[in-house]
Amino acid sequence: MTAAVADQRPVDGHRAPLQDVMIREAAETDLPAIVEIYNAAIRGRISTAQLEEVSVEQQLPWFREHSSGTHPLWIVEKNGRVAGWLSFQPFKKRSAYRGTAEIGVYVHEQFRRAGVGRILLELAIARGSSLKLSALVGSIFAHNEASLGLFEQAGFERWGVLPRVAKVDGVEHDVVIMGRYLGPLT
C-alpha cells in the first residue's frame, strides 16, 4: 500500500473517545513510527516473540501485505503522532480459516494505559463482520498481564495455552491464545 489521500481517512469516520484522537488506515509514511513502537516492544521483552529489532526496510513487505478490505493496519493518531496500531493478519493460510484473523496491538510507551489499545480492539470487533471475519485471536505471553487484561475487558476469552513455546533471553514462556467469536458469516 502506498501513501495516498484515501489512506488518511478515518476508519468509518471513527473518532475515538480520547481527546483529539483519530483512528485511520496506516499509510506507508507511518511505517517509521510503527517500527519505532514495535522496536520498543521488542526491547521490553513482554509483548512480542521477536527478539531482534527490525528496520523500516525489513517491515515494508509486512506492511504491504495488509489490505483495507480484508486485513487492515490501523493507527491511532494523537496530535499528529502515532500513539498505537492494530494489525490484522491471516490466522492460517488454509481456506477454512479465512474467517479468522490474528490481531496484534502495540501502543507507544507514552500512551499506554490511556485507552489506545481498548479503542483499537473495540473497533476491530465492531468492523469484524465488514471484513468478513467471524473470529479474532491474539497470542499473548502469559506473563503479560496488562495485555491479557485488555483483551479480557474487550470480551476475549482464553481459548488455549501453549506451554513453554517461547524462549526469551534463556527463559521459557507460555503463550495464551485469546479469542473472541464475532458471529457467523452471512
Closest-CA residue to 49 (of 173, 149, 179, 151)? 173
Q: Which region among 17-21, 25-29, 130-134, 178-182 has the lowest average model confidence (pLDDT)? A: 17-21
Band the pLDDT of 9: cuts 50, 70, 90.
Answer: very low
Q: How many angstroms separate the Cα of 55 from the Cα of each of 31, 59, 69?
A: 10, 6, 26
Q: Are 136 and 101 in contact (CB under 8 A)?
A: yes
For residue 28, pLDDT over 70 is answered with yes
Q: Tell me the average pLDDT across 11-34.
A: 79
For residue 122, pLDDT over 70 is answered with yes
Q: What Rg value do the Cα atoms of the chain yield, rounded?
A: 16
Give every CB contact of residue 41 below 8 A, 6+ residues apart in sequence: 47, 48, 106
Q: Are 41 and 51 in contact (CB under 8 A)?
A: no
- Report d(CA 91, CA 137) in Å as an integer: 8
- Report d(CA 174, CA 145) in Å as an integer: 12
Per-residue burial over 126-146, b = 16 or more CB atoms within 10 Å of its CB, e = otherwise: ebbeebebbbbbbbbbbebee
- Report d(CA 153, CA 149) in Å as an integer: 6
Band the pLDDT of 20: cuts 50, 70, 90.
Answer: confident
How many C-beta neighbours within 10 Å does residue 181 have?
14
How many C-beta neighbours within 10 Å does residue 69 have?
8
Q: Cα–chain-centroid distance for residue 68? A: 14
